[in-house]
Amino acid sequence: MKIVYFYQYFSTPKGSWGTRVYEFAKNWVEQGHEVTVVTSVFSKSDLKATKLIEDQYFDGIHVKVLNVLIDNKQSFYRRIWTFILYSVISSYYALTLKADVVIASSGPITVGLPGLLGHYFRGRKLVFETRDLWPEGAIELGVIKSPVLKKLSYWFEKQCYRASSYIVTLSPGMTKDIQRRYDIDQIDDVTNAANISLFSTPVPFPNSVIEPYSYAIYTGNIGMVNNSYWLFEAAKALRALGRSDITILLIGEGQQREELVRRAKEEGIQNFVRLDLMPKRELVGYVQHALVSLVPLKGTPVLDTSSPNKFFESLAAGVPVIQNTKGWMKDFLEQHKVGLTLDPNDPEQLAKTLIWMKNNPAQVGEMKQRALDVAKKHFDKDFLASKMLNILVKLHEPSSQALATKFITQ
């Protein structure tokens, strides 16, 4: 089967970004399928390009790299331009690449354009992969304010879903939301995956400045949506409570990185530490030796459906999670007793919870033991890659059988 995957943020484990598409495509190639990923250059991935379009290969995966730079620190309008430019250029490959199934992985919603063209002009089976509820999230967070643009965005979202033979979401919350709004049956969630082998294999602690098991770790984008000021205020609260021995460690970049680092320095908040982005393999040691992993988001309904990579990777490392949404992650942590859900507007509550965890290693140790078992059962990359591949095969089989029947009857 020939699979074309439109996804703007492709990265391998050498990069500092989620590797879901790499892991899935690698698994499918190993099973004999042909996979082409059409992507761009994301600042947190390991991909580089010198030409406008380059053909690169990773473990048998054919990657067409469009030299369009995407960076979370770009202005809103600059990012919109990169989304449009990618969708326009990639549309050429939607019309010219041979494919049995096309996957359009959104957000942004503009990636739906090549998917729609491949479906309507070349008769491809389209699988629309919803990574976040775009444009609903952008509207809820106030990024899209124009009534005309809102209406246009929702119209385009509807066209993408209507044209799809199947919809894959990254969380149960997203599945429920789409079913509620569009009454769609051909839909299922295939969550983000964890590289269990990579994150569960013990490695030495890589830092001589902070102490292992004395810090709460956050990895990823540092910005408004990720509620980064909640972490900064929690570090201040820890100091006020006399527990500056507990550190808030951030590893990442983002719109609020510079101002938070500056404020920490000006106010002498030494237990608020940031390290630069690093490849996944280097990140593992920091995650494994953390007291707890932090998965903060703004308290909004659409973010309750989120599926952050750090959630899955932390559990795979045997590390409990603290998060602050009211959706499926809250239910999951409560059901499996591998973490806690806190108020996104109460940094002192976070500080007191970290103190409790530091003071109760036995109870936290029980959470850690359960975390890896849960990750192996629910979030193994090969298990989830097979789950999604089964969807693609079922879509492809009817057309293959129809061709065989036509050949036999001639």
What is the CATH classification number for the domain harbouring 298?
3.40.50.2000
Confidence of residue 190 (pLDDT cuts 50, 70, 90): very high
What is the residue-wise DSSP string for 143-183?
S---HHHHHHHHHHHHHHHHH-SEEEESSHHHHHHHHHHH-
Domain that holds residue 108: 2-193+380-409
* Predicted pLDDT of residue 410: 44
Same domain, residue pair 25 and 135: yes
The one-letter amino acid at 144: I
Closest by CA position to 19, among listed 409, 385, 407, 386: 385
The neighbour count for residue 410, using CB atoms within 10 Å, is 5
Residue 382: the pLDDT is 92
Q: What is the pLDDT of residue 273?
A: 96
Looking at the structure, do residues 157 and 189 belong to the same domain, yes or no? Answer: yes
Phi, psi of 348 (to 5 degrees): -65, -35
Closest CA to 251 of 213, 208, 207: 207
Claim to verify: residue 200 and residue 238 sit in the same structural domain: yes
The pLDDT value given to residue 17:
87
Q: Same structural domain for residues 278 and 176?
A: no
Residue 408 pLDDT > 70 = no
| 399-408 long-range Cβ contacts below 8 angstroms, 24+ apart | 399/100, 399/125
Please tell me the number of Cα atoms within 13 Å of 139 on its side-chain side. 15
How many structural domains comprise the chain? 2
d(CA 128, CA 34): 19
Are the CB atoms for 49 and 76 separated by under 8 Å? no
Helix (H) or strand (E) holding 232: helix 228-240
pTM: 0.86
Segment among 237-246, 321-330, 391-400 with least mean pLDDT:
391-400
Residues 65 and 179 in one domain: yes
Residue 153 sits in the same domain as residue 177: yes
pLDDT for position 134? 83
Confidence of residue 398 (pLDDT cuts 50, 70, 90): low
Please indicate, yes or no, whether residues 258 and 121 belong to a single structural domain of this protein: no
On whether both 61 and 174 belong to a single domain, the answer is yes
> Do 364 and 384 reside in the same domain of the chain?
no
pLDDT at 126: 97
**% pLDDT > 70, the chain:** 97
| H or E element that contains 126 | strand 125-130
Do 12 and 143 fall into the same domain?
Answer: yes
For β-strands 61-70 and 339-341, DSSP reports them as unpaired
Residue 405 pLDDT exceeds 80: no
Q: Residue 86, SS3?
A: helix
- At 409 the pLDDT is 39
Residue 216 bridge partners (DSSP): 248, 292
β-strand 101-106 against 272-275: which pairing, if any?
unpaired
pLDDT digits (tens, 9 = 90+) for 339-375: 999 999 999 999 999 999 999 999 999 999 999 999 9
* Claim to verify: residue 239 and residue 348 sit in the same structural domain: yes
CA distance 190 to 290: 27
Q: How far apart are CA 322 and CA 292, in angstroms?
A: 7
**Domain match, 261 and 333 both:** yes
pLDDT digits (tens, 9 = 90+) for 120-139: 999 999 999 999 888 888 88
> What mean pLDDT is predicted for residues 24-45?
96
The pLDDT-based confidence of 143 (bands split at 50, 70, 90) is confident
Residue 125 is predicted with a pLDDT of: 95
Per-residue pLDDT band for 141 (boundaries 50, 70, 90) equals confident
